Chain A
Amino acid sequence: MLVRWIAALVAFVAVILIGVVTVGNFDTGIDPGNFFDTEGSDSFAFIGAIALVVAFLVYAAIEYAQTGGFGSIARQFDTRTIVLMPIAIAINVILGATVANALKIPVYLDSIGTILVGALAGPVAGAFTGFLTNILWTYVLPPPFQNGPAAAFALVAAVIGVLAGFAGRAGWLRPRPNRSGTELLIGGLVALAVVVGLAVYAYTRFYGSTFNFFIPDVEVEPLFVVLGWLVGLIFVGFVVGFGYLLVARRDLGVAYVVVAGMVTGVIAALISAPISANVFSGVTGGGTDFLVAAFRQAGSDLQTATFQQGLLSDPVDKLVTFFVVYLVLNAMARRTKARFPQGEQLLEAGDTGGIEEGEWRSATS
């Protein structure tokens, strides 16, 4: 078990090193107005995604060599998970298509199902759900759900599923109600720091020196004002919901959810931006196009604008998505959750099954 993980980690690091050496210099100079060195991190994130695939193959190969099968992977594909996957994929596609085609708001909301499966069943099942969502979205589903660009982002969707799987396995999506004030304070501060960091980033991008709504001399399109407000409103709604769970239910779990969403969002942005910029010029027909337009209007080049859009849209999107999944998991019956491969990690600590008695036996096998 440990050997597999170590080997996978070694493979991951090795691929990244090889990638770094091959690509060469990442130090293209850090733009002071930018939090990240975009061009370098573009390539780096892409290498990371490839490294992830290689690491998985190594893990699977060693498991096969050790046990002659893929038990720990197959366990993530029990019948219950198999039944959940089509529902998860449908949720992804329907919400994603609605948000992109009808609502035109600059988020995606196309990974609720992926994150749900990842949390309940594990990283491999989550990756599979995300990957298949985007493939089916392009190749198999009929209009109006068919989506041309989706297949190009299948790898991104898979990585989101993997991250959700690890978040679930680590117990980050477990409710932790009725905690002490100190714990809640620390959790709240951590989460708040994440959200404020994101807000500051969004603010500097939107209202920074090059693209300032609030300097009266500069002409401002109403569209962008509305968008700015919307981003703000989502943040407000999120903070309110977050505060409710934290204060009214004293649920420390929300702090973990915030961090999980943030991490997933940033990684997703890092991987998807190069694909989006190089294949689709950053424009994919959804509400995110307005952001790309705004950043380009503000003077960013194609790559940078797409990357800036991703770094804004993805963390917001994944924060909201993780939060929705957290609410869905809380709404699910304890018994139903427990039967999924990773269900035990999603239950409140100390909340296990009934009393054991000698003559009562569970299913053999």
Chain B
Amino acid sequence: MAISLRGVGYRYAGAQQAALLDVDLDLPDGAVVGVAGASESGKTTLCLVVSGLAPRTVGGRIRGTITLDSEDVDAWPMHRLASRVGIGFQNPTTQLSQVAGTVFEEVAFGPMNLGVPRDEVAQRTWEALAALRIDGLAERDPARLSGGQQQLVAIAGLLAMRPEHLVLDEPTAQLDPAGTQLVGDAIQRLAGDGASILVAEQKTDLLAAVAGRVVVLDGGRVVLEGDADAVLSDPRLAELGVPEPSAVRLRRAVVDAGVAPDRVEAAISG
């Protein structure tokens, strides 16, 4: 099971420039793929295209093919795709449905919309809450939670729809350090449990911790791609506007300070 993009391009309505061009990407089941790049490099657009919101909800024009388990999804309506691919956004508050008085109802909103039978909705909701360790919040008012907790509720709302793939667009971008920690830990746990996640992040530390592969975008094209370790220590990152993970920076600082590179590697692996 996998999502595959082949030669995918996308242009917002009324825009002269394409926001995404000639992207080939695979998100196999159980893989965590990180997306890095400067702002305006196409990270968010890629997330919208993979989730199907672009062009279905956003409008605009697309080219190339997107397949889900080798089936072309071009003619699928949004609600059909939504039960297979979940997407989470930066802003925790705008992701809340605004119609749920409790966290439980908020998380159940997606499966309810999908018409899942009542008992199964309840079961999925408890499971999603448990997966993110927030079942203690079930009775709380989602509007009164912290940003980090709201983001966890939003992700739980996606999990309750039992998608095969999860797309997260900078899930920690608008959170304070405590919230970032909370969400970062949850993503690591989900990734460790074998979820398949496409995560776009400015914070490469998070990508270094969770992603197996990383692609780097620039001007809507994939410019670097490969194993997370290799891509995230690539010297071209800086000129692409991507901050290096702190582990890479630390390693370089140690080497620059005159410690032999092989001793550094030995110390890290030892």
B251 in contact (CB, < 8 A) = no
Least Cβ distance of B204 to chain A in Å?
31
Q: Name the residue on B nearest A347 (C-beta).
A: B14
Given A339-B59, A354-B61, A365-B77, the answer on whether A360 and B11 have CB atoms closer than 8 Å is: yes
Query: In the assembled complex, which residues on chain A have CB atoms less than 8 Å from the CB atom of B77?
Result: 365
Cβ proximity bits B40-55 to A, threshold 8 Å, 1 near / 0 not: 0000000000000001
> Which listed residue (A86, A334, A338, A365) contacts B75, Cβ 8 A?
A365
A337 CB to closest chain B CB (Å) equals 11
- Bound: A356/B15 CA distance, A: 11
CA–CA, A339 and B60, complex, Å: 10
Query: For chain B, what secondary structure do more than half of its interface residues adopt (helix, strand, loop), or is it mixed?
Result: loop
Nearest-CB distance from B87 to chain A (Å)?
15
Q: Does A359 have its Cβ within 8 Å of any Cβ on chain B?
A: yes
Mark each residue of chain A from 51 to 86: 1 if its CB lies under 8 Å from any CB of chain B, else 0. Answer: 000000000000000000000000000010000001
Known: A361-B62, A364-B75, A365-B77. A354 touches B57 (CB 8 A): no
Residues of A within 8 A of B14 (CB): 334-335, 338, 352-354
Question: Per-position contact with B for A334-350: 1 when CB-CB < 8 Å, else 0?
Answer: 11001100000000000
Query: Which residues on the B side are within 8 Å of A354 (C-beta)?
Result: 11, 13-16, 61
A360 is contacted by which of B9, B56, B57, B75 (Cβ under 8 Å)? B9
Q: Pick the contact of A335 from B12, B56, B57 — CB < 8 Å? A: B12
Highest count of chain B CB atoms <10 Å: which of A79, A338, A357, A360 = A360
- The residue of chain B having its C-beta at the shortest distance from the C-beta of A358 within the complex is B63
Partner among B11, B15, B56, B63 whose Cβ is within 8 Å of the Cβ of A363: B56
Q: Cβ of B56 and Cβ of A338 under 8 Å apart?
A: no
A362 part of interface (Cβ distance < 8 Å):
yes
| Chain B contacts for A365, CB-based, 8 A | 56, 75, 77
Closest to B16 in A: A354
Distance, CA A159 to CA B159, complexed state (A): 43
- Check B57 against A362 for contact (C-beta < 8 Å): no
Given A334-B14, A338-B14, A353-B14, also A362-B59 (CB < 8 A)? yes
Count A interface residues, CB 8 Å. Answer: 19
Contact check: which of B13, B56, B59, B63 meets A359 at CB < 8 Å? B63
Residue of B nearest to A79 (CB): B57
Minimum distance in angstroms from A259 CB to a CB of chain B: 30
Contact between chains at B63 and A361 (CB < 8 Å): yes
Neighbouring B residues of A334 by C-beta, 8 Å: 14
Q: Please indicate which of the listed interface residues B12, B14, B57, B59 has the most CB atoms of chain A within 10 Å of its own CB.
A: B14
Complex Cα distance A279/B35, Å? 63
One of B9, B62, B63, B98 near A86 (C-beta < 8 A): B98
Contact A362–B55 (Cβ < 8 Å):
yes
CA–CA, A354 and B74, complex, Å: 21
State the CA gap A357–B74 with chains docked (Å). Answer: 17
Q: Whole-angstrom distance from the CB of A342 to the nearest CB of chain B?
A: 15
Q: Which residues of chain B in 14-70 are interfacial with respect to chain A, using CB atoms and an 8 Å cutoff?
A: 14-16, 55-63
Q: Complex Cα distance A359/B9, Å? A: 10
Per the bound structure, the CA–CA distance linking A338 and B9 in Å amounts to: 22
A363 to B63, CA, bound (A): 10
Measured in the bound complex, the distance between the Cα atoms of B98 and A355 in whole Å is 38
Using CB atoms, name the residue of chain B closest to A83.
B98
A220, B15: Cα distance in complex, Å = 62
Closest beta carbon of chain B to A332's beta carbon, Å: 14
**B61, A361: Cβ atoms under 8 Å?**
yes
Within 8 A of A (CB), among B57-105: 57-63, 74-75, 77, 98
Q: Are B13 and A335 in contact (CB under 8 A)?
A: yes
User: Which chain B residues border A362 with CB–CB below 8 Å?
Assistant: 55, 59-62
With A86-B98, A363-B56: A338-B13 Cβ-Cβ less than 8 Å: yes
A364 with B63: CB separation less than 8 A: no
Q: Digit string of B152-168 for contact with A (CB within 8 Å is 1, else 0)?
A: 00000000000000000
- List of A residues within 8 angstroms of B59 by Cβ: 338-339, 362-363
Q: List, sorted by A's number, 25 A–B pairs whose CB atoms are closer than 8 Å.
A: A79-B57, A334-B14, A335-B12, A335-B14, A338-B14, A338-B59, A354-B11, A354-B13, A354-B14, A354-B16, A355-B16, A357-B61, A359-B63, A360-B61, A360-B62, A360-B63, A361-B63, A362-B59, A362-B60, A362-B61, A362-B62, A363-B56, A363-B59, A363-B62, A365-B75
A: residues with CB less than 8 A from B are: 79, 86, 334-335, 338-339, 352-357, 359-365
In the A-B complex, the 10 residue pairs with the smallest Cβ-Cβ separation, listed nearest first, are A360-B61, A363-B55, A363-B56, A359-B63, A353-B14, A353-B13, A364-B75, A360-B63, A362-B61, A354-B14
**B binding-site residues for A, Cβ under 8 Å:** 9, 11-16, 55-63, 74-75, 77, 98
